[in-house]
Structure 1
Amino acid sequence: MNGCCYGRPTRLPWGVSFPPSSFAGLEFGNAKIHPSQLYFSLAGLVVFAFVWAVRKRTGPAGTLFWISTMLYALVRIPLDFTRAYEPETAFLSAFGIEIVESQLSSLAIALFSLLMIMRLRRESLAPSAA
């Protein structure tokens, strides 16, 4: 927890200010910023709660892991828009929207996880060679 994963400025009422000596304080002063650390923590708890709720009806072994991996990756994509990144970290910038590498990585992880879920389901439905 280096304090480097702070949010972008916001006008939302739950915006937070950081001490002037912190990374966020040095960059934004006492401006209100998104509490992105809390957003990501809450997202992790929501994914965990969902996975816990469906744990007994998910199918073959390994499916639950890939479901949780896919869900967290999908949740991370929009949450990353609330985080402050250095401008040079933008992978793609169009129409005022900056896409960063972590969003592209999350998309790739989500797609790979979906493929793994499909593979596990297909293998579990295939007749055994016994």
Structure 2
Amino acid sequence: MAPNHPVQAGWVPVCRRADLVAHSGVVALLEGVQVALFYLPEAAQAVHAIANRDPFSGANVIGRGLLGRLGGELVVASPLYKQHFRLRDGVCLEDPNQRLAVWPARLHEDTVLLGPVRPTAQAGMARAETAQARSAAAG
């Protein structure tokens, strides 16, 4: 990345537009967290960023999920148990108590930028991490 790259405070470059696959997901690593990036080149918001870890299986697979619309909402279906997560806020349509972290995402020229994780999703990430830790301790 060029040293004069104009990045606003809090926005982090994670990949190039050429790394994305239209209408599909790829995964980037941001501060040790896997983030699924979905690219919809014709949409007003072309890039969506959501946690890659499926809270139902514990597997990092959301980036391999299928994109679609349910009830007018843009969603990704987990490839394992098929739950649907809204891309705008990470909420699971089948179980609204489950939520994936969501990052603001945008393109700046040919660079994909992610902003800070949205606070509502941080609570969901913390619950998932706590549940995983309890499961590991019990096992």
TM-score (normalizing by structure 1): 0.28
The structure number with the bigger radius of gyration is: 1
- More strand by percentage: 2
TM-score (normalizing by structure 2): 0.27
Bigger RCO (CA 8 Å, 6+ sep): 1
- More helix by percentage: 1
